[in-house]
Structure 1
Amino acid sequence: MTRVDWASGHWTHEPVEAHPDGDALVVTAAEGTDAWRITSYGFIHDTEHALVAPFDVGTAVEVAFTGDFSGDFDQAGVFIRTDDENWIKSGVEFSDGLLQLGAVVTRGVSDWSVAPVPHWAGRRITVRASRSGDAVAIRARVDDEPFALIRLAPLDPGALVEAGPFLCAPSRPGLTVRFESWTVTPADETLH
């Protein structure tokens, strides 16, 4: 497991503030930030705060974080970006009054899947994206519990892809997330 230096990534959109705190990076999102393309809502939002670095085939990126997710659609996790129209975000999002675990896969237009995880509130969440062949397998866990598969999505094996931690605050100012770690490992050998 190789720890990624926060300074080695670049922001897709600069946050309000980002500062180191020991080994962690504490980031505050701008109000009105989000990532979405068209489906059902008709709009395009391309204002997420994602700190990304190259994401090669045969590797996995893992991000651990904590935060007070209490505003509508507060979100954080891992962002995987090929270009403006092809990206994936996965992690937690506060929706319908509780914390949800899910993923948005965007290939021209976005989709969205979530499942409630209210018992994860206030705990350390880890999201792991493993790139192998023509796919990315996304897993998540809380604290030191076992990882659970969230999503298996197509990802062009020839594409230049970047990935890393992200956060968005579509409805309020002041969302601050403490990213405790960002690491790269070999890709997972099995899907399940």
Structure 2
Amino acid sequence: MRNLTEDLIMLMRWYNEPPNWEHQEDLIVVTSGAKTDFWRRVDCGYIRDNGNFYYQEVKGDFTARVKIINQYENIYGQAGLMIRVDERTWFKSSIEFVDGMHFVSTVITNEQSDWTVVPLLDKPPSLWLCLQRGGSSIEVQYSIDGESYTTLTTAYLTEKETVQVGLVCASPENEGCQITFQNFQIEAMKGDR
């Protein structure tokens, strides 16, 4: 498994670079852009592809993990992990603030976005997310303590061998917020890179 070391950093790039961000050892601190999101509902005319996504290309099966240190309470503010093929095919899982509560959410997009949320009863100081790709499917797990994980969903994404994988954040209704990602890791499986 690779932590966010110099070799991993060199492979990563921004899709919609945020206004402010920096590396601090094993941390990436980001201020999300204002009025940003990844969301696609063609039927109601709401399409956004301007969220902040810090990624690298990964071939084959993998596991991606990150700890998100939660310091925001902006409506629909979100931070997590994303797997992306293009603007019509992607998957994100995040901690999200909605109606005064924090949720673990997933959005699966194959032409149209579908949203699933699970409420977190207490405001956690941090949340761990894990995405595992096996063939065309993605499994999402989350943890409050970094040790005991709960499966949120398993879903189909794509048959394409190479996808973009990384950190995602957005502030759909606000001027942006600060998010801290810690210990971002990607582990290639079965001999893949």
TM-score where L is the length of structure 2: 0.89
Q: Which structure has the highest strand share of the two?
A: 2
Q: Is the 8 A contact 2:62 2:188 kept in 1?
A: yes
Deviation at 1:181, TM superposition (A): 1.6
Q: Verify: 1:38 aligned to 2:41, yes or no.
A: yes
Q: Which residue identity does 2:113 align to in structure 1?
A: S
Deviations 1:24-66 (A, max 9, x none): 1110011100010016643101011011112332211112121
Residues matched between the structures, number: 187
- Counterpart selection for 1:67 from 70, 74, 79: 70
User: RMSD over aligned Cα, in angstroms?
Assistant: 1.8
Deviations 1:101-135 (A, max 9, x none): 110000000000101114243x2211111111221
C-alpha separation in 2, matches of 1:156 and 1:31: 30
Residue 59 of structure 2: SS of its match in structure 1?
A: coil
Residue 142 of structure 2: SS of its match in structure 1?
A: strand
Q: Is the 8 A contact 2:70 2:127 kept in 1?
A: no
C-alpha separation in 2, matches of 1:153 and 1:10: 26
Q: Which runs of 5+ in 1 are unaligned?
A: none
Alignment of 1:45-84 (within 5 A): 45-84=48-87
Q: Is the 8 A contact 1:12 1:51 kept in 2?
A: yes
Alignment of 1:114-125 (within 5 A): 114-121=117-124, 123-125=125-127
Match of 1:133 in 2: 135
Deviations 1:133-170 (A, max 9, x none): 22111111122241111111113233421111111011
Match of 1:150 in 2: 152
- Counterpart selection for 1:19 from 22, 45, 52: 22
Deviation at 1:96, TM superposition (A): 1.5
Q: Is the 8 A contact 1:61 1:128 kept in 2?
A: yes
Deviation at 1:12, TM superposition (A): 1.1
Q: Is the 8 A contact 1:55 1:61 kept in 2?
A: no
Pick closer, same or farther for the CA change 1:118–1:47 going to 2, 3 Å.
Answer: farther
Q: Which residue identity does 1:131 align to in structure 2?
A: R
TM-score where L is the length of structure 1: 0.90
Q: Is the 8 A contact 1:55 1:163 kept in 2?
A: yes
Runs of 4+ aligned residues of structure 1 deviating over 6 Å after TM superposition are: none
